[in-house]
Structure 1
Amino acid sequence: MAENAQEERIYITYKTRMTTEARLRSNARLWHRLLSYYAFCMILYSLIELSGNYSTGNSQIIMAPLSVATFGLSLYISGERYQERADQFKNCYLRLQALYNNKGMSTDEKMARYAEILDLYENQSDDDYDEILFDIFLRRQKLSNAVGEVEIPKNLIFRVGGRRLARKGFAFLLFAVTCSPKLYQS
C-alpha cells in the first residue's frame, strides 16, 4: 500500500479501475457466450423442424422467445460497449499505476496529475470500489485516507457476496430457461 493517505487514493483508484476492467471483460464474455448459445439453439431448432423426422411441436413457442431475447441482448450489448470501455479503464489504470510508482514526483504533483488523469476517463461504479474494499478486508489490510483509517462497512460482505451470487445465478437462469423440458412437451 501507499506510504501516505493521499498516495493511497491513487493506489485504491487504480486497483478499482483494474477491477472495473476485469468486470467489463467478464460481462462481454458472458454475453457473447449467451448470444452464441441462443443462436445455436435457434439453428438447432430450425434444423430439427425442417428435417421432419423430429418435431418439438412447439417450435413457435421456442423460437419466438429465443429470437426476441437474441435481438434484445444484441441491442443491449452493443450499447454497453463492454470491450471499448474495458480498454479505456485499462489505459486509465496503467497511467495511474505509473503515477503511483513514480518516485521522482512530490505528493502534491502526483495529486495534481491524478486529478488530470481522472478527468479524462469514465468513473468506476461504487460496486467496483466495494470489491476492492472487500479484497482489502479479506487480506486483513488497513486502509486510510486523509482523515484516518477507513472503516470497512459491516454489511460489505453481504453486498459483495450477494452481487457475485446474483451475477452467476442470472447467467445460470438464462441458460436453464432455454433448456427447460416443458418447452419440448407437446
Structure 2
Amino acid sequence: MIKYKRVTYKRVPSKKSKIILTDVEEDIIKLRDNKIYVTKKSRMIAEARMNDNHVFSQFLVNYYTFVVLALSIAILIIEDKDKTISLLTVIASVGLFGVSLFLSNMSYKERALKYKESYLSLGELESKLNLLLRKNNLNSTQMIDVFEKYQQEYHNILSKTDNHDEIDYIKVKIDQSPNQDFIIKYYKYLITKNFYRFLFVIFPILLYILPKLGV
C-alpha cells in the first residue's frame, strides 16, 4: 500500500485562508481531472464519431443499392444497350456487397453504445471522487483505502470497452487548450475522412463518365 503523508491545514496571513491538500487528496484530484475527465470526454467524442460513421454507412449502403437498381432498370429499358452500363452494374453490385460486409463488421452502432456506457460509468466514478474529497470524517488510512478502490474501478471500466482513438483525445485537448500541432492533426483527419467519403459517393459516376471521355 502506498504511504501518504498527512499534511495539516494551516492559515496564511491573508484575508482568505489557503488550504493545503494532503498527498492522497492531490492524487484524487489528479485521477479525477487528468484521467477520468479526459477519458470520459474522449469517449463522448468517440460515441459521436461512431454514430456519425453509422449514419454515413447507412447512407452509403442505400446509395449503392439505388445505383444498382437504377442501372438494372436502365439495362432493361434501353434498347441500344451500353456495355459501360452493364459493366458499371456489375462493379456497383460487387461494391455494394463489399461495403455492406465491411460496415457490418465495423459495428459502429454497437461500439457507440459501449462508449456511452463507458462514459456514463466514468461520470458516476467522477461523482464518487468529488464526494470523497468533500468528506471530512475519514482519516488518512480510510481515504487511501477508498481511493485505491476507486482506482481499481477506473481500470475495470476501461477494460470493458475498446480504447478510443487518438483523434478523440486530440479533440479533447483542443477543447481544453488549443494547440497548433493538435489542431493541424485534427483538421488533417477531417479533410482525409471527408475526401474518402466523397470518393465513395462519386465512384459510380466516375466509372460511367471517364470511359465516355476516353480516359
Q: TM-score, normalised by structure 2?
A: 0.71
**Larger RCO, structures 1/2 (Cα 8 Å, 6+ apart):** 1
Q: Which residue pairs with 1:105 in the alignment? A: 132
Q: Distance in 1 between matches of 2:177 and 2:167?
A: 15
Runs of at least 5 residues in structure 2 that lack an aligned partner in the other structure: 1-27, 134-145
Does 2:97 match 1:71? Answer: yes
Q: Which residue pairs with 2:38 in the alignment? A: 12
How far the C-alpha of 1:57 sits from its partner, in A, is 4.1
Does 2:155 match 1:115? Answer: yes
State the AA in 2 paired with 1:28: H
Q: Distance in 2 between matches of 1:159 and 1:26?
A: 19
Q: Which residue pairs with 1:61 in the alignment? A: 87
In terms of mean alpha carbon deviation, does 62-71 or 83-92 score higher? 62-71
3-state SS in 1 of match to 2:132 = coil
How far the C-alpha of 1:178 sits from its partner, in A, is 1.7
Q: Distance in 2 between matches of 1:166 and 1:54?
A: 40
1:10–1:114 Cα contact (<8 Å) kept: yes
Does 2:185 match 1:185? Answer: no
In terms of mean alpha carbon deviation, does 68-77 or 129-138 score higher? 129-138
* Structural RMSD (CA): 2.3
1:56–1:184 Cα contact (<8 Å) kept: no
Q: Distance in 2 between matches of 1:70 and 1:183?
A: 20
Which structure 2 residues correspond to residues 86-101 of structure 1 after superposition, within 5 A?
86-101=112-127
How far the C-alpha of 1:136 sits from its partner, in A, is 1.9
Q: Distance in 2 between matches of 1:77 and 1:87?
A: 16
2:170–2:186 Cα contact (<8 Å) kept: yes
3-state SS in 2 of match to 1:123 = coil
State the AA in 2 paired with 1:69: G
Runs of at least 5 residues in structure 1 that lack an aligned partner in the other structure: 139-151
How far the C-alpha of 1:25 sits from its partner, in A, is 1.1
Distance 1:28 1:17, change over 3 A: same
Tell me the alpha carbon deviations over residues 33-67 of structure 1, each in whole angstroms, 9 at most, x when there is no partner. Answer: 01110110100111111113575441222112211
Q: What percentage of residue pairs aligned between the two structures are identical?
A: 25
Q: Distance in 2 between matches of 1:75 and 1:105?
A: 48
Which structure 2 residues correspond to residues 14-163 of structure 1 after superposition, within 5 A?
14-52=40-78, 55-102=81-128, 103-105=130-132, 108=147, 109-138=149-178, 154-163=180-189
State the AA in 1 paired with 2:62: S
1:16–1:132 Cα contact (<8 Å) kept: yes
Tell me the alpha carbon deviations over residues 120-149 of structure 1, each in whole angstroms, 9 at most, x when there is no partner. Answer: 2221122211121122234xxxxxxxxxxx
Q: TM-score, normalised by structure 1?
A: 0.81
Q: Which residue pairs with 2:138 in the alignment? A: none
In the alignment of these two chains, the number of paired residues is 170
Tell me the alpha carbon deviations over residues 83-116 of structure 1, each in whole angstroms, 9 at most, x when there is no partner. Answer: 1111111101111012112333358243332122
